[in-house]
Amino acid sequence: MNYMIYAKHKDDKQFGPVDLQSGRVGVGLVFATLIPDIEKARGYATQLKEKCPDFTWQVRAAGKSKIVFTTQ
C-alpha cells in the first residue's frame, strides 16, 4: 500500500495533497508524492511539522480517505 502526505495551514479550511519534491501543498492527486512505507511517511510528516509548525500534517492511504497519522 502507498501513502500520501496531506497538509493544512492553520488558516485553511481543508487539507490538500503535498508534492514533496516541489514543496507545494494542494496539488492535484496526479502530482502528489506516493510513499511506499508507512514509517517513512510518518517520519516525513513529523519532520515537516518541526520545520513548518503552522501546518497540520496527515498521512493518508493513497486512493482512500483513511487518515493513518496526524501530527500534533
**pTM as predicted:** 0.93
Q: For residue 46, what are the domain limits? A: 3-59
- Residue 33 belongs to some domain of the structure: yes
- Residue 26 belongs to some domain of the structure: yes
d(CA 15, CA 40): 20
Looking at the structure of the chain, the number of domains it has is 1
Report DSSP letters for 20-55, one per residue.
TTTTEES--TTTSPPBS-HHHHHHHHHHHHHH-TTE
pLDDT above 90 as % of the chain: 94
- What average pLDDT score do residues 58-66 get? 92
- Residue 67 belongs to some domain of the structure: no
- Residue 38 belongs to some domain of the structure: yes
pLDDT tens across 18-42, in order?
Answer: 999 999 999 999 999 999 999 999 9
pLDDT above 70 as % of the chain: 100
Q: What is the pLDDT of residue 72?
A: 82
- Residue 70 belongs to some domain of the structure: no
